[in-house]
Structure 1
Amino acid sequence: MIVSKTISALALAASIFSIGLPALAADVPAPGVSARVDAIKKAGVLRVGVLANTPWLVENTTGSGDAWQGPAWLLAQEYAKELGVKLQPIPVSHETKVPVLASNQVDLSITPLAETPERLKVVDFVLYSKTAVCVFGLKNNKKFADAATVDAVNSADFTVAYFIGGAEENWVKERFPNAKLRGVTSSSAPAPIEEIMAKRADAAAINRIQWVLLSKKVPGLTALPKDNNCQGSTEKAAPVGLAIDKGQGPFLDWLRAVEKDMQPKLNADEARIVDTMK
């Protein structure tokens, strides 16, 4: 009886102890399980396609420290560390950032990519963040300033501007069917800011990251949703992550397991970079 109680107590203690431990990432696939992992280890380098896209992957041009920073780089560094190889950044362009995977020029494309149905046909994703849209207007426009939610803009009282052929055009038309819509020719600006400043429109859509830069550059603007300077927006949200070529099950499973373990650090690093932009 005493032995039984002792065993039970030890089992309970072990259970409590294990609950308190952080979850560990999956082990690197063993030799022969993943052809990609075997090739990376043989080469001694993890080749990653890089193209700056703030705040997820930022080029460091100071001449000191790592050439790159941001959550995408942080995650790539962890992969290389666990694989026991060096990390080799390979510059890519907007046109090549996906095709380089099928042509085996890189192992991972870590330039941040939004997951889309078209891309899912040719690559698999390891997701760690999201992109989203904010709606902005003038602080001294009482109509917009008094709006409590994005839903309030969907009214005949509001005029919403958008770039014809721009990334937000279809979303604006679907999101604000009751508003007056004003399509304008695109410019070098990230959003139709001229329409807002000239008061030809009450609101316009902008990517949540571009909003941080715009609000810093142009005083007198405000945005919806209001939480955390619009960084908590779920409007037109799309997952963001890195990509690998299709058909690499064990490698993909391991990459995703490591990302899951790293998620709190990746979130913190993204927030750090966004704060430096404000």
Structure 2
Amino acid sequence: MIGSKVISGLTLAASVFAFSVSAFAADVPAPGVSPRVDAIKKAGVLRVGVLANTPWLVENTTGSGDAWQGPAWLLAQEYATQLGVTLQPIPVSHETKVPVLASNQVDLSITPLAETPERLKVVDFVLYSKTAVCVFGRKDNKKFAEATSVDAVNNADFTVAYFIGGAEENWVKERFPNAKLRGVTSSSAPAPIEEIMAKRADVAAINRVQWVLLNKKVPGLTALPQENNCQDSNEKAAPVGLAVDKGQDVFVEWLRAVEKDMQPKLTADEVRIVDTMK
């Protein structure tokens, strides 16, 4: 039989090996291994495309401290630190946040992007969070207040409102085929809140982050799923992360290894920012 001391020694050795593999995985690629890393080090700066998207990347307009905050910025700072270079934010727009990678105007586009099949054709992702959808209605609407799941909305007793041409339109039609659907013209609101307040609809869909802001602004609402104020929703979920131009496998592997090590801090920072919105 193998003695307990031997087993303990093997366990310790395995732990040390696992730690070593983890540490090695996050080691900065050696010179000559990644052209992108070599270029970044030579320039002395890590260029990152920035465009605010709460809670992952938030612009700090107070005039003190870093100009940006949030998990996307926290991760970019860690990359710059490990590379030994300065972090340089470069403003981008909704139209340019992906194309700037192919044109080599930035090294990373850290404006938070949802991973989609179309985007995966031109960029690689480093994922650290997700976007998702909630459904909300009035607290004094007995039908909705008594519903315990999103599934409960999928019946003819409910009227679900959506913006025609909006991001949630197709999802609403697929998710609630048995409900009455009410398409309305888009407005500056994040969801068809007027339909809910006027009682023309029982339910509407909204992005999980926008729900926090709406719930704070408009009293008398409630949402599903109920867990963690709808922040744990998996409805219409899509991974969120930063983007890198295709063809940089070594660079991407290192970026993902660092993100894996940083994941608990990134999640905590996202929770912190969402909490400030409540």
Which residue does the alignment assign to 1:156? 156
CA distance in 2, matches of 1:16, 1:117: 39
Q: Aligned ranges for residues 140-219 of structure 1 at < 5 Å?
A: 140-219=140-219
Shift of 1:11: 3.4
Which residue does the alignment assign to 1:36? 36
Q: Do structure 1's residue 89 and structure 2's residue 89 form an aligned pair?
A: yes
Which residue does the alignment assign to 1:14? 12
Q: Do structure 1's residue 121 and structure 2's residue 121 form an aligned pair?
A: yes
Q: Which runs of 4+ in 1 moved over 3 A?
A: 4-14, 19-23
Which residue does the alignment assign to 1:46? 46
Shift of 1:266: 0.3
Change (3 A) 1:13 1:249: closer
Letter in 1 for 2:9: A
CA distance in 2, matches of 1:179, 1:229: 24
Greater shift in the superposed pair: 213-222 or 13-22: 13-22
CA distance in 1, matches of 2:116, 2:148: 31
How many residues end up aligned between the 2 structures?
275
Letter in 1 for 2:110: I
CA distance in 2, matches of 1:10, 1:182: 65
Which residue does the alignment assign to 1:222? 222
CA distance in 2, matches of 1:147, 1:8: 57
CA distance in 2, matches of 1:8, 1:158: 65
So what's the TM-score if we normalise by structure 1? 0.95
Which residue does the alignment assign to 2:139? 139
Change (3 A) 1:201 1:240: same
CA distance in 2, matches of 1:126, 1:137: 35
Letter in 2 for 1:123: V
Unaligned runs of 5+ in 2: none
Letter in 1 for 2:182: R
Change (3 A) 1:103 1:143: same
Shift of 1:216: 0.1
How well do the aligned residues superpose, as a CA RMSD in angstroms? 1.9
Unaligned runs of 5+ in 1: none
Shift of 1:13: 6.7
So what's the TM-score if we normalise by structure 2? 0.95
Q: Do structure 1's residue 245 and structure 2's residue 248 form an aligned pair?
A: no
